[in-house]
């Protein structure tokens, strides 16, 4: 080949003077006078005069001889270069060479060319790029976002990593608005990185079926594919992936308007190892595609998420019958599914392994179907209902009775659920329930109900009641009597609760509270905080009192005296002063790591020595909106507490 005939190899440094182009032009003329050879100029001379020095005004320039070669010859040279160092060095010459090098398939590189030893300081196309890391399984990962996502960068990645085992994971999020990622960039990855196992494309409008064809043709090891907002990819591209990716285990399709049922049918027929499927906001995907996919992969499919699709009762009936391996189901925004669909799914008796079920904004979710799901999914452990406006107390209690394996129940914006439903669910849940969460359930009101006998729920470890304005002290006292073994308590945003409602719960917890969030509970005072510190100081690790305006220095004194393992304390916007900070710093057994006093205007520069003392163990300190602490004091703290991250 021409390069080797000239005595050049891919290991030559372009900047070290080894090339004829870097030699003095007068020396070349001197040599050429004694030898019968042609020495063209390597570059146009930069002169200020509009006339050439030779007197010829419009002397035609001649290109360097290596650039005169047709692409076919360069292609043959490039695929014979000895090793990755030579290919990377050649790619640095020009974008044209980089494009040619990236078009060389990994299988077309001549393997019989002797490889040179590559030292640690080899010329590397990726040495100056961020985001490159070696995964624990040995595959390289690359992520491009926004303006950095261009074809040139993808080509550089392809050439630079081809000799290092290739790319294992590639994520492209967004695209350069001027030189965005196109089929050419994805083709370069496909040609050089047949080892690609994970591909994620988000918001890349210029990548279409042609790029998918190349991935399908070259990357037969593909296991995970994530397509989000890719309008140029259609059924043809995804069908090609399906037919050439037998190892595909996870597929996500979101907001891809040109992908329809044909793609899902091909995936179901050609990908027997598929375990997870997520489909969101795809207008052309309906019952035909989902039903075929689920029925064809019934032995392997474990996770299904369907959101914003035009599905009917038929799809849910198929899922209920063929979902024998399913462990996780997520439904969101399925407006055309009626009560019948959910009822049939529950009664089909096919969801024997289902452990997690989440339903959001599905109008077909009613009391009748909820009971059917509880009876049909015997191993269901986690249930989440979001914005299910037709579920009431009777359905919730019936579900709690039927779901004997239930461990976690979350209700959000289910406004027909009342205090009676919550108490009934707790009383009828099996002995395995560990977590109950209520969020923005507006139907809960503070009613003083007569309960002759309340059997405690000994298994419950976590209780979260957030932003339920009607949930007050009476409701809290009733629920608290049922939860003697709580570890985690979250009552954030409950403006109506007072000390009288929370104290019975605090005093009734026998096992010791570990994490407590009382943010936004405006009516709580030092009394309940002192009781919390006194009764649970040996186990309490995290306490959030953000916005509890009636909490004062007395609470900090109690925490300093009784808390042995408290590591995270938030007293932002509380009525604490320098005295409280001083008391906190005197806690001999206290070992705080994170402290937030944001918005505490009564804390001033006088607290600096106490904060410095606390800073011996702190890794995070929030001083934002502390108007009485000067900038100079903050600077001194930053200087002295160099291991602590200080927000101001």
> At a CB cut-off of 8 Å and minimum separation 6, what does 452 contact?
none
Specify the pLDDT at position 230: 95
Q: Assign 3 a pLDDT band (cuts: 50, 70, 90).
A: very low
Average pLDDT taken over every residue of the chain: 84
In DSSP notation, 569-602 reads EE-TTSS--HHHHHHHHT-TT---SEEE-TT-TT
Q: Assign 625 a pLDDT band (cuts: 50, 70, 90).
A: very high
Over 60: is that where the pLDDT of 129 sits? no
- CA angle (543, 412, 491) in 5-degree steps: 20
Q: How many CB atoms lie within 10 A of CB 181?
A: 25
Specify the pLDDT at position 66: 61
Round to whole Å and give the CA distance between 595 and 607. Answer: 14
Residues 158, 102: contact at Cβ < 8 Å? Answer: yes
Tell me the average pLDDT across 319-347.
Answer: 96
Specify the pLDDT at position 587: 87
Round to whole Å and give the CA distance between 229 and 516. Answer: 40
Over 70: is that where the pLDDT of 47 sits? no
Round to whole Å and give the CA distance between 139 and 171. Answer: 14
% of the chain at pLDDT higher than 70 = 82
**What percentage of the chain's residues is helix, strand, coil (to nearest 5)?**
35, 15, 50
| Entry field: residues in the chain | 648
Over 90: is that where the pLDDT of 97 sits? no
Round to whole Å and give the CA distance between 172 and 206. Answer: 12
**Comparing C-alpha atoms, which of 530, 532, 492 is closest to residue 512?**
532
> At a CB cut-off of 8 Å and minimum separation 6, what does 444 contact?
417, 418, 419, 422, 438, 468, 470, 471, 475
CA separation (Å) from 274 to 22, 35, 266?
57, 68, 12
Round to whole Å and give the CA distance between 283 and 374. Answer: 31
Least confident piece of the model among 98-102, 118-122, 286-290: 118-122
The torsion angle over the Cα atoms of residues 124, 128, 132 and 134, rounded to 10 degrees, is 50
Round to whole Å and give the CA distance between 354 and 328. Answer: 6
**Angle between helical axes of 553-562 and 526-536 (0-180°, round to 10):** 0
> At a CB cut-off of 8 Å and minimum separation 6, what does 386 contact?
332, 358, 359, 360, 361, 412, 413, 414
Among 26-35, 56-65, 72-81, 558-567, top mean pLDDT goes to 558-567
pTM of the predicted protein model: 0.81
Tell me the average pLDDT across 368-388.
Answer: 95
Round to whole Å and give the CA distance between 421 and 398. Answer: 10
Round to whole Å and give the CA distance between 59 and 57. Answer: 6
pLDDT digits (tens, 9 = 90+) for 7-34: 333 333 333 334 433 444 443 344 344 4
Among 8-17, 183-192, 380-389, top mean pLDDT goes to 380-389
pLDDT digits (tens, 9 = 90+) for 585-606: 998 888 999 999 999 999 999 9
- CA angle (168, 171, 176) in 5-degree steps: 135
Higher-confidence residue of 85 and 477: namely 477
Specify the pLDDT at position 112: 56
Tell me the average pLDDT across 156-176.
Answer: 81
% of the chain at pLDDT higher than 90 = 63
Write down the H helix ranges in 435-484. Answer: 473-480
Tell me the average pLDDT across 547-564.
Answer: 95
Tell me the average pLDDT across 426-452.
Answer: 83
């Amino acid at each position: 080949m021409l390069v080797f005939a000239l005595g050049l190899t891919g290991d030559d440094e372009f900047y070290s003077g080894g090339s004829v182009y870097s030699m003095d032009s007068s020396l070349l003329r001197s040599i050429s006078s004694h030898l019968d050879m042609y020495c063209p100029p390597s570059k146009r001379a930069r002169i200020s005069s509009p006339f050439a020095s030779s007197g010829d005004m419009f002397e035609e320039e001649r290109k360097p001889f290596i650039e005169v070669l047709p692409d076919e010859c360069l292609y043959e040279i490039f695929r014979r270069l000895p090793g990755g160092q030579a290919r990377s060095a050649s790619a640095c010459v020009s974008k044209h060479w980089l494009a040619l090098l990236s078009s060389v398939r990994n299988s077309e590189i001549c393997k019989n060319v002797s490889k040179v030893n590559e030292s640690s300081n080899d010329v590397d196309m990726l040495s100056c790029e961020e985001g490159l890391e070696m995964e624990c399984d040995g595959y390289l990962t690359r992520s491009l976002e926004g303006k950095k996502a261009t074809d040139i960068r993808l080509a550089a990645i392809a050439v630079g990593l081809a000799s290092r085992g290739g790319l294992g994971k590639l994520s492209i999020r967004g695209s350069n608005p001027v030189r965005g990622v196109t089929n050419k960039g994805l083709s370069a990855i496909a040609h050089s990185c047949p080892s690609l196992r994970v591909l994620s494309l988000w918001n890349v409008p210029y990548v279409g079926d042609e790029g998918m064809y190349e991935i399908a043709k070259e990357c037969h090891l593909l296991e995970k594919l994530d397509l989000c907002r890719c309008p140029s990819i259609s059924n043809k591209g995804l069908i090609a992936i399906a037919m050439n990716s037998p190892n595909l285990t996870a597929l996500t399709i979101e907001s891809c308007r040109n992908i329809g049922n044909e793609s899902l049918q091909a995936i179901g027929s050609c990908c027997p190892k598929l375990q997870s499927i997520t489909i969101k906001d795809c207008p052309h995907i309906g019952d035909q595609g989902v039903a075929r996919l689920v029925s064809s992969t019934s032995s392997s499919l474990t996770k299904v998420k369907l959101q914003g699709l035009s599905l009917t009762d038929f799809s849910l009936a198929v899922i209920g019958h063929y979902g024998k391996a399913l462990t996780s189901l997520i439904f969101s925004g399925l407006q055309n599914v009626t009560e019948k669909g959910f009822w049939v799914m529950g009664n089909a008796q096919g969801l024997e392994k289902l452990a997690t079920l989440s339903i959001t904004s599905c109008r077909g979710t009613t009391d009748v179907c909820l009971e059917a799901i509880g009876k049909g999914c015997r191993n269901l452990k986690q249930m989440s209902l979001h914005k299910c406006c037709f579920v009431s107390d009777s359905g919730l209690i019936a579900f709690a009775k039927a779901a004997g394996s239930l461990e976690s129940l979350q209700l959000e914006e289910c406004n027909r659920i009342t205090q009676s439903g919550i108490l009934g669910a707790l009383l009828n849940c099996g002995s395995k329930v560990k977590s109950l969460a209520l969020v923005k359930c507006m139907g809960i009101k503070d009613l003083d109900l007569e309960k002759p006998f309340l059997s405690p729920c000994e298994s419950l470890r976590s209780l979260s009641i957030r932003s339920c304005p009607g949930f007050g002290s009476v409701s809290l006292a009733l629920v608290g009597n049922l939860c003697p073994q709580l570890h985690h308590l979250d009552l954030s945003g409950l403006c109506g609760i007072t000390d009288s409602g929370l104290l019975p719960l605090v005093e009734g917890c026998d096992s010791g509270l570990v994490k407590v969030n009382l943010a936004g509970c405006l009516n709580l005072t030092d009394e309940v905080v002192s009781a919390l510190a006194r009764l649970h100081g040996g186990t309490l690790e995290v306490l959030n009192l953000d916005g509890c305006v009636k909490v004062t220095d007395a609470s900090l004194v109690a925490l300093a005296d009784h808390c042995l393992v408290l590591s995270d304390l938030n007293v932002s916007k509380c009525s604490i002063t320098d005295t409280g900070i001083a008391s906190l710093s005197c806690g001999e057994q206290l070992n705080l790591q994170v402290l937030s006093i944001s918005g505490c205007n009564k804390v001033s520069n006088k607290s600096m020595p106490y904060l410095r003392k606390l800073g011996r163990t702190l890794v995070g300190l929030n001083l934002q909106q502390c108007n009485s602490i000067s900038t100079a004091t903050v600077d001194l703290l930053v200087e002295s507490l160099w291991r602590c991250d200080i927000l101001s």
